[in-house]
């Protein structure tokens, strides 16, 4: 093992370990059937993005013969070799699970994929009518002519390749045609069924009736395939005079970038596979024959079919926060106290309400907000537009570089501008990933400011799926810092020194390193010292080395890291005082929380930033101290609960493997605990409201 590999785990292999932990839920027979299918779909979707972003970039480096190794000592080519090996094992596990376990169990439960040999006469009539009356009119075969450019169509959408007998050419006995299925037609064609839900896959129908597209030719073979292209492209911001136009061109360039993966039905002939490999200039090492339906991420809708609720987990619902009154305005409540919310156990509605009230309140003078990923029908964006229409000064920093949400953000930016919002398209060379909204209000005592800080996006839909923290306050210094932050970003200036906030890429990392050093100093003096942190990824080498120094000094370090972790815990004379666990459960763990003992004067902070170079050095992020005692105590308790999980948590070993946390006699599951506790607290709060009878009295 190289010196680098002895200290660090490779980033890409660590991510694949994360996806394996997601896959482990799909592989577990203890899970309800449709929950297993859902997690299987998530692993497939995760892999798509991994190929588009991470593998594409490595392939470009390998093609340029870049030999520079990462901090784990692996060159791009070495990483690609390990990635391909690991993914082939993962795909085998995915499809073995689907073919041998999930599909037969789904069939028994009444959710059935129909093949042509199994279709009833009534079903065949429906399929044939659907093809003749709809599909044949919508779908367009595209010929592949030798020497011509590859036709462009949306990827990674499924396509059907057709091999035809070519009677005109002796030297070329075959000709090839593609039928792209696009993303508008449903993947599952519903069939009449007396029991349950029966469907046929779109590619099966098109393959069956492909001959009708070519009545005078002989179809030799049809197969489904999927191309994935590199999406690791950037805008040259130094020369972009119109940044939005440049972003729109980038989206077009992404459709034409090099192919990083070819997935093809394993039943395809060697002849057809070789032709597609050559056509798309894909390395044979990047061809993945698939033993089952392509794109398992499309199985997600099946996991939510109505009428099959017995095959899913009992739903968890969000509850109103016991800390928030439904009758008093948000401003009245935040004037009196700070509020901490744990989503999705506690509803995201107060955050929407905070901005909604600001939009309609005549005393509100301005709203300033960052937008990174929003929903397609965002009530928050609607409130910002409404506020601007009523004459309020509204500023929105809309990050156009939010990968895979560029189109939505471009559309929102245009709409906001039309309604009079001052829109900033992010910051040159940096992504604005901070989650902050500041509201300025005229009150009898003078101007007062209110601020919301979050660890997750302003997206009410993902707020039901991601576990995040919201901190809402009128703390004078935090609000002053929030205003300074926006003024610096929108005014193109360096921010004035903050009172309490830290921002990346300016001081956030140095503040974390400073806090780690304080714990090291405390330990060296013989005092109690510990660090507890919950983040999504740990990749930054400086942070890792600082944690190694802390371990060597005797600082107890507990890390709860959902995804990538490049630190090796438990290594003698390096990290024996560091423990790393990861929780994969019903909600996607997304909150970033840090707790430093600090000599008994606990320092607790929340952040939008993971501990990765991209977050700490190339993004605008915020680190927010939570000093309000009730909110701080709640965050400390929250972290302690995460480290008690022995049901859904796994522990990272020094070898880079994840093993189940050793269970005590009492199983404890953190997410279930939060759900039950907040449910109970919400019910108790409701019961505490005094119920009284108020009679209607005579007007006289």
- Kindly report, residue by residue over 13-67, the tens digit of the pLDDT: 999 999 999 999 999 999 999 999 999 999 999 999 999 889 988 888 888 898 8
Cα 260 to Cα 59, 249, 280, 317, 651: the distances in Å are 8, 20, 10, 40, 32
Q: Both 65 and 133 in a single domain?
A: no
- In the chain, the N- to C-terminal Cα span, in Å, equals 93
Dihedral angle, C-alpha 206, 208, 213, 219, nearest 10 °: 130
* Last residue of one domain, picked from the residues 469, 497, 525: 497
Q: What is the 3-state secondary structure (H, E, C) of 235-266?
A: CCCCCCCCHHHHHHHHHHHHHCCCEEEEEEEC
- Residue 154: its pLDDT value, please? 58
* pLDDT tens readout for residues 348-378: 999 999 999 999 999 999 999 999 889 889 9
Q: Look at residue 239 in the predicted model and tell me its pLDDT.
A: 37
Top-ranked range on mean pLDDT: pick from 149-153, 162-166, 589-593, 685-689: 589-593
User: In the structure encoding, which two tokens stand for residue 361, read together?
Assistant: 């309140």
492 domain residue, yes or no:
yes
Residue 371 maps to a domain: yes
Of 200, 220, 226, nearest in space to 282 by CA: 226
Q: How far apart are the C-alpha atoms of 256 and 373, rounded to whole Å?
A: 25
How confident is residue 232, by pLDDT bands cut at 50, 70 and 90? low
CATH number assigned to the domain comprising residue 134: 3.30.1840.10
d(CA 602, CA 633): 9
Residue 324 lies in a domain: no
Asked whether residue 490 carries a pLDDT value surpassing 50, the answer given is yes
Q: What are phi and psi of 80, to 5 degrees?
A: -60, -40
HEC string for 335-391 = HHCCEEEEECCECCHHHHHHHHHHHHCCCEEEEEEEECCCCCCCHHHHHHHHHHHCC
Judgement on whether residues 411 and 482 belong to the same structural domain of the protein: yes
Average pLDDT over residues 641-647: 96
Read off the tokens for 336. Answer: 């009196």
Question: 337 and 379 share a domain?
Answer: yes
Are 409 and 512 found together in one domain?
A: no
Q: What does the pLDDT read at residue 698?
A: 73
* Domain assignment present for 318: no
d(CA 635, CA 625) in angstroms, rounded, equals: 11
The CATH number that applies at residue 4 is 1.20.58.310
- Does residue 197 sit in helix, strand or coil? strand
| 651: confidence class by pLDDT, cuts 50, 70, 90 | very high
Q: Is residue 347 located within the same domain as residue 477?
A: yes
In the chain, the percentage of residues whose pLDDT exceeds 70 is 92
Residues in the chain: 700
Q: Select from 355, 327, 343 the least CA-distant residue to 466.
A: 343
pLDDT in tens, 552-572: 999 999 999 999 999 999 999
**Is pLDDT above 70 for 700?**
no
pLDDT tens digits along 580-636: 999 999 999 999 999 999 999 999 999 999 999 999 999 999 999 999 999 999 999
Q: What is the pLDDT of residue 403?
A: 66
State yes or no: pLDDT of 577 exceeds 90.
yes
| Element at 635 (helix H, strand E) | helix 629-642
Report yes or no on 692 lying in a domain: no
pLDDT value, residue 658:
96
Range of the domain at 7: 1-109
Residues 434 and 360 grouped into a single domain = yes
Query: How would residue 153 be classed by pLDDT, with cut points 50, 70 and 90?
Result: low
- Reported confidence tier of residue 199, pLDDT bands at 50, 70, 90: very high
pLDDT: which is higher, 163 or 375: 163
Asked whether residue 8 is assigned to any structural domain, the reply reads yes
Residue 250 has pLDDT above 50, yes or no: no
CA angle 623, 628, 630 (to 5 degrees): 120
285 SS3 class: helix
Is there a single domain that holds both residue 489 and residue 510? Answer: no
Q: What is the CATH number of the domain that holds 439?
A: 3.30.870.10
As a whole number of angstroms, the distance between CA 609 and CA 434 comes to 8
Task: Give this prediction's pTM.
Answer: 0.91
User: For the chain, how big is the Rg over CA atoms in Å?
Assistant: 28
- What's 148's DSSP letter? S
pLDDT of 150 > 90? The answer is: no
Query: Are residues 70 and 137 located together in one domain of the fold?
Result: no
Of 101 and 431, which is predicted with more confidence? 101
For the ranges 2-11, 57-66, 496-505, 625-634, the maximum mean pLDDT occurs at 625-634
* Cα–Cα distance for residue pair 142/641, rounded to 1 Å: 57
pLDDT at 238: 41
Which of 157-166, 508-517, 541-550, 668-677 is predicted with the least confidence, judged by mean pLDDT?
157-166
| Residue 551 domain-assigned (yes or no) | yes
CA atoms within a 13 Å half-sphere pointing along the CA-CB vector of 123: 20
Task: Please report which confidence band the pLDDT of residue 691 belongs to, taking 50, 70 and 90 as the band edges.
Answer: low
| Residue 186 φ then ψ, to 5° | -70, 140
Say whether both 475 and 344 belong to one domain: yes
2-6, 400-404, 648-652 — most confident range: 648-652
Whether residue 269 is found in the same domain as residue 373:
no
- Do 509 and 390 share a structural domain? no
563-568-570-571 Cα dihedral, nearest 10 degrees: 170
In a domain, 293, yes or no: no
The mean of the pLDDT values for the chain is 91
Q: Of 247, 265, 282, which residue constitutes the final position of a domain?
A: 282
Q: What is the 3-state secondary structure (H, E, C) of 434-465?
A: CCEEEEEEEECCEEEEEEEEECCCCCCCHHHC
Closest among 350, 515, 19, 564 to 507, alpha carbons compared: 515
The more confident residue out of 356 and 405 is 356
Q: 78 and 9 in one domain?
A: yes
Between the CA of residue 586 and those of 35, 334, 464, what are the distances in Å?
9, 31, 11
Number of domains in the chain: 4
- The residue from 282, 315, 346 where one domain ends is 282
What confidence tier does 385 reach under pLDDT thresholds 50, 70, 90?
very high
Element (H, E) at 23: helix 11-27
pLDDT at 323 over 80: yes
479, 439 Cβ separation under 8 angstroms = no
Please identify which residue in the block is written with the tokens 């101290």. Answer: 625
Confidence of residue 123 (pLDDT cuts 50, 70, 90): very high
Q: Name the residues annotated as catalytic.
A: 433
């Amino acid at each position: 093992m190289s010196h680098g590999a002895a200290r660090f785990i490779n980033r890409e292999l660590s991510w694949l370990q994360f996806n394996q932990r997601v896959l482990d839920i799909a592989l577990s027979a203890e899970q309800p059937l449709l929950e297993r299918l859902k997690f299987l779909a998530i692993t497939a979707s995760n892999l798509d993005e991994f190929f588009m972003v991470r593998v594409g970039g490595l392939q470009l480096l390998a093609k340029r013969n870049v030999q520079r190794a990462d901090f784990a000592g692996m060159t791009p080519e070495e990483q690609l070799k390990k990635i391909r090996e690991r993914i082939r094992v993962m795909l085998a596990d995915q499809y073995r699970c689907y073919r041998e376990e999930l599909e037969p169990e789904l069939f028994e439960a009444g959710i059935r994929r129909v093949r042509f040999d199994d279709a009833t006469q009534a079903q065949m009539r429906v399929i044939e009518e659907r093809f003749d009356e709809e599909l044949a009119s919508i779908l367009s075969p595209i010929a592949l002519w030798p020497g011509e450019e590859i036709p462009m169509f949306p990827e990674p959408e499924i396509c059907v390749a057709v091999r035809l007998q070519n009677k005109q050419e002796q030297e070329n006995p075959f000709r090839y045609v593609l039928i792209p299925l696009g993303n508008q037609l449903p993947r599952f064609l519903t069939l009449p069924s007396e029991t349950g839900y029966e469907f046929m896959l779109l590619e099966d129908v098109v393959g069956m009736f492909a001959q009708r597209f070519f009545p005078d030719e002989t179809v030799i073979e049809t197969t489904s395939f999927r191309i994935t292209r590199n999406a690791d492209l950037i805008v040259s911001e130094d020369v972009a005079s119109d940044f939005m136009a440049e972003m729109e061109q980038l989206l077009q360039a992404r459709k034409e970038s090099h192919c990083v993966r070819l997935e093809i039905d394993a039943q395809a002939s060697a002849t057809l596979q070789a032709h597609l490999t050559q056509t798309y200039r894909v390395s044979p090492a990047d061809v993945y024959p698939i033993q089952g339906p392509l794109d398992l991420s499309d199985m997600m809708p099946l996991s939510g079919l109505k009428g099959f609720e017995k095959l899913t987990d009992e739903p968890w619902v969000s509850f109103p926060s016991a800390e928030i009154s439904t009758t008093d305005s948000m401003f009245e409540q935040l004037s009196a106290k700070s509020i901490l919310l744990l989503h999705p156990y506690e509803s995201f509605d107060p955050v929407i309400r905070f901005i909604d009230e600001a939009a309609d309140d005549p005393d509100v003078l301005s709203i300033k907000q960052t937008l990174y990923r929003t929903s397609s029908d965002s009530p928050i964006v609607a409130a910002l537009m409404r506020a601007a229409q009523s004459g309020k000064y509204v500023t929105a920093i809309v990050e156009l570089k939010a990968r895979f949400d560029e189109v939505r953000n471009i559309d929102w930016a245009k709409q906001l501008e039309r309604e009079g919002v001052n829109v900033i398209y992010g910051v040159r060379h940096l992504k604005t990933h901070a989650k902050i909204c500041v509201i300025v209000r005229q009150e009898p005592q003078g101007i007062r400011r209110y601020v919301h800080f979050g660890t997750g996006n302003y997206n009410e839909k993902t707020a039901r799926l991601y576990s995040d923290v919201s901190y809402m306050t009128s703390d004078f210094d935090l609000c002053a810092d929030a205003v300074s932050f926006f003024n610096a970003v929108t005014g193109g200036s360096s921010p004035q020194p903050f009172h309490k906030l830290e921002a990346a890429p300016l001081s956030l990392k140095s503040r974390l390193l400073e806090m780690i050093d304080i714990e090291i100093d405390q330990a060296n003096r013989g005092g109690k010292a510990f660090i507890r942190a919950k983040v999504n990824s740990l990749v930054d080498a400086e942070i890792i080395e600082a944690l190694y120094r802390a371990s060597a000094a005797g600082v107890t370090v507990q890390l709860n890291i959902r995804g990538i972790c490049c630190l090796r815990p438990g290594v003698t004379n390096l990290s024996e005082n560091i423990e790393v666990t990861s929780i994969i459960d019903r909600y996607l763990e997304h909150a970033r929380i840090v707790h430093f003992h600090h000599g008994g004067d606990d320092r607790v902070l929340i952040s939008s930033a993971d501990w990765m170079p991209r977050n700490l050095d190339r993004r605008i992020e915020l680190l927010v101290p939570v000093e309000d005692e009730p909110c701080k105590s709640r965050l400390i308790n929250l972290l302690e609960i995460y480290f008690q999980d022995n049901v859904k948590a796994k522990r990272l070993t020094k070898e880079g493997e994840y093993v189940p946390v050793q269970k005590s006699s009492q199983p404890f599951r953190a997410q279930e605990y939060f759900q039950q506790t907040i449910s109970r607290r919400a019910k108790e709060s409701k019961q505490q409201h005094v119920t009284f009878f108020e009679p209607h009295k005579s007007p006289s």
